[in-house]
């Protein structure tokens, strides 16, 4: 995946360099490319910032793992992507096995090399927050001929011996990936247009489709996801909400699925969800542009039977969709704080009765990494100033996602979130919307939440305690019970099976 070598030269099967003018070319893409999930890959030097990447409309990056620290993904860089809600793909490349052109290894040496590379790649990725269940792509950055396939198979056997076949991926051209998939040596494929001659393997979850693209003044390559799960990790915050949407006394879970529909999964009262899902606002993909969601009793109807949904839309406005009491929403949406795009810088929002007023307010992490509270007037309209819930010093910079609930059975709505060290921390509310500044660990301080893409809070077990549920690194929704003091049990139960059913929820 070496940018310069791939852009300027095409390796022949004999190992000679052939000058090829394919800089800034874009190869055949699927018809739906305009609505596809797009990302970038690049080296460290002169790379665009996370905010620039997000502003340009890209939702993931592929970054290096290697024996050369100067080009590698770092923990601080990974955190910057999380803060900008950008997913990460891990790609191992020293030289893309280009040294094999001059000295192809024996199968035993190739196996040992693959195992060695995998050990280092796994360690580096883990240091940046990747869960061990996520794949790593190992680069073949030249048109390796079929005569070296035995050595290449051995190399990937070595990789799989360390990280597991289910986590083993390859980057390369069409024929290289075709042979590896066919031999059962990889579970993940990232195909480049180079050395593919217009062919695409449908098994590849990721495609490199264009080079010579400029983003923020930096030259990068463009990639396209071909599956909802293409090995991404890091940010990937799924848009989930929880609440008693059907007025049954049970806390359900709703989220935006791979088809951009908001679907509701009913809870049986024990923390187990039904597996079908119902559409809350039709099946026309209307939620594709929404960045974040919150659920609350925003409209004072004299009771608490209709839990509504609010979200930041594609125009960065906060819109409210009212619930008819059965889990179905109205289709118009009202502006909660005007139509001027004021929510563009907000990374996460939650709803709750933070002031003990009987109304659900909105709190969110703004562009300056402060948690600000916007009060509700009872009609679903918010005040426009916002108050700081934990000072104005940018203390929420490392937090990927937040939830709200009465975690301590104190009759106040607290805030909890996954911090920069991948720990879930709880901040107590004084009942007036101000939080204490220390934070307590809800499930230890060992970074156990690194692989979670989203969390929601609610009394899922009808126990009187506010629990936490989240989509883990294996795309399963797991429930962690609260003991009533804000401490969670450490096992977690599956709310909708263990088959990765939440992979498409974004």
The answer on pLDDT for 331 being more than 60 is yes
- What is the predicted pLDDT for the residue at 18? 28
Task: Tell me the per-residue pLDDT of 66-111, one tens digit each, with 9 for 90 and over.
Answer: 999 999 999 889 878 876 778 899 999 999 999 999 999 999 999 9
Rg (C-alpha) for the chain, rounded Å, is 24
The three-class DSSP label of residue 470 is strand
Q: DSSP state, 273?
A: B
Contacts (Cβ under 8 Å, ≥6 apart) of 140: 96, 97, 152, 170, 171, 172, 173, 176
Distance (Å, whole) CA 312 – CA 504: 20
Confidence of residue 490 (pLDDT cuts 50, 70, 90): confident
Distance (Å, whole) CA 351 – CA 345: 17
- What is the predicted pLDDT for the residue at 260? 83
What strands lie across the sheet with 318-321, from one edge to the other? Answer: 292-296, 308-312, 318-321, 334-335
Contacts (Cβ under 8 Å, ≥6 apart) of 79: 129, 398, 420
Token reading at 484: 């009533």
Task: Tell me the per-residue pLDDT of 134-170, one tens digit each, with 9 for 90 and over.
Answer: 899 999 999 999 999 999 999 999 999 999 999 999 9
Token reading at 373: 């509270």
Q: Give whole-number Cα distances, 70 to 63, 82, 125, 233, in Å.
A: 12, 21, 15, 22
Beta strand residue intervals within 205-279, DSSP E: 206-215, 218-225, 233-234, 240-243, 252-256, 262-265, 278-279
Q: Which of 133, 134, 36 is nearest to 90 (CA)?
A: 134
pTM of the model: 0.65
Three-class DSSP labels, 20-77: CCCCCCECCCCCCHHHCCEEEECCCCCCCCHHHHHHCCCCEEEEEECCCHHHECCHHH
Name the more confident of 399 and 202: 202
Torsion of Cα atoms, 431 then 432 then 436 then 439, to 10°: 60
* Mean pLDDT, range 232-255, rounded to an integer: 88
Task: Tell me the per-residue pLDDT of 431-455, one tens digit each, with 9 for 90 and over.
Answer: 999 998 789 999 999 988 877 888 9
Task: Tell me the per-residue pLDDT of 260-311, one tens digit each, with 9 for 90 and over.
Answer: 899 999 999 999 998 789 999 999 989 977 888 999 999 988 877 789 999 9
């Amino acid at each position: 995946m070496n940018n310069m070598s791939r852009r300027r030269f095409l390796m022949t099967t004999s190992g000679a360099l052939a000058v090829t003018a394919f800089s800034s070319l874009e190869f055949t893409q699927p018809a739906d490319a305009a609505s596809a999930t797009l990302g970038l890959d690049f080296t460290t030097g002169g790379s665009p910032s996370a905010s620039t990447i997000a502003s340009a409309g890209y939702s993931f990056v592929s970054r290096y793992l290697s024996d050369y620290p100067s080009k590698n993904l770092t923990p601080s860089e990974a955190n910057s992507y999380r803060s900008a809600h950008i997913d990460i793909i891990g790609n191992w490349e020293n030289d893309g096995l280009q040294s094999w052109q001059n000295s192809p290894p024996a199968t035993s040496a190739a196996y040992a090399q693959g195992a060695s590379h995998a050990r280092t790649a796994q360690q580096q990725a883990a240091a940046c927050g990747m869960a061990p269940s996520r794949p790593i792509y190992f680069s073949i950055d030249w048109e390796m001929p079929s005569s070296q396939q035995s050595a290449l198979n051995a190399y990937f056997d070595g990789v799989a011996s360390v990280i597991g076949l289910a986590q083993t991926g390859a980057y390369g051209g069409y024929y290289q990936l075709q042979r590896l998939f066919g031999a059962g040596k990889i579970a993940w494929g990232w195909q480049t247009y180079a050395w593919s001659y217009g062919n695409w393997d449908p098994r590849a979850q990721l495609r490199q489709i264009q080079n010579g693209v400029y983003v923020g003044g930096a030259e990068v390559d463009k990639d396209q996801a071909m599956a909802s799960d293409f090995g991404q990790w890091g940010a990937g915050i799924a848009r989930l909400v929880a609440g008693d949407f059907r007025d049954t006394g049970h806390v359900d879970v709703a989220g935006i699925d791979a088809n951009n529909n908001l679907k509701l999964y009913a809870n049986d009262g024990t923390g187990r969800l039904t597996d079908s899902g119902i559409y809350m606002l039709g099946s026309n993909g209307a939620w594709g542009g929404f960045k974040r969601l919150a659920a609350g009793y925003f409209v004072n109807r004299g009771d608490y039977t209709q839990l509504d949904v609010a979200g930041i839309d594609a125009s960065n406005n906060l819109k409210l969709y009212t619930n008819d009491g059965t889990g179905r929403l109205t289709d118009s949406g009202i502006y909660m704080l005007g139509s001027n795009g004021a929510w563009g810088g907000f990374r996460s929002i939650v709803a709750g009765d933070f002031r003990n007023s009987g109304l659900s307010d909105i709190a969110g992490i703004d562009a300056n990494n402060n948690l600000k509270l916007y009060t509700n007037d009872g009609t679903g309209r918010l005040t426009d100033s916002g108050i700081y819930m934990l000072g104005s010093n940018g203390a929420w910079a490392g937090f990927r996602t937040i939830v709200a609930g009465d975690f301590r059975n104190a009759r106040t709505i607290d805030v909890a979130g996954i911090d920069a060290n991948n720990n879930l921390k709880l901040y107590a509310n004084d009942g007036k919307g101000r939080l204490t500044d220390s934070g307590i660990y809800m499930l230890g301080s060992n970074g156990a939440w690194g692989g979670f893409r989203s969390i929601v809070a609610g009394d899922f077990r009808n126990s009187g305690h506010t629990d936490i549920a989240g989509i883990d690194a294996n795309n399963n929704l797991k429930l962690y019970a609260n003991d009533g003091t804000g401490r969670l049990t450490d096992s977690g139960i599956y709310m909708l099976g263990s088959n990765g059913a939440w992979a498409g929820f974004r």
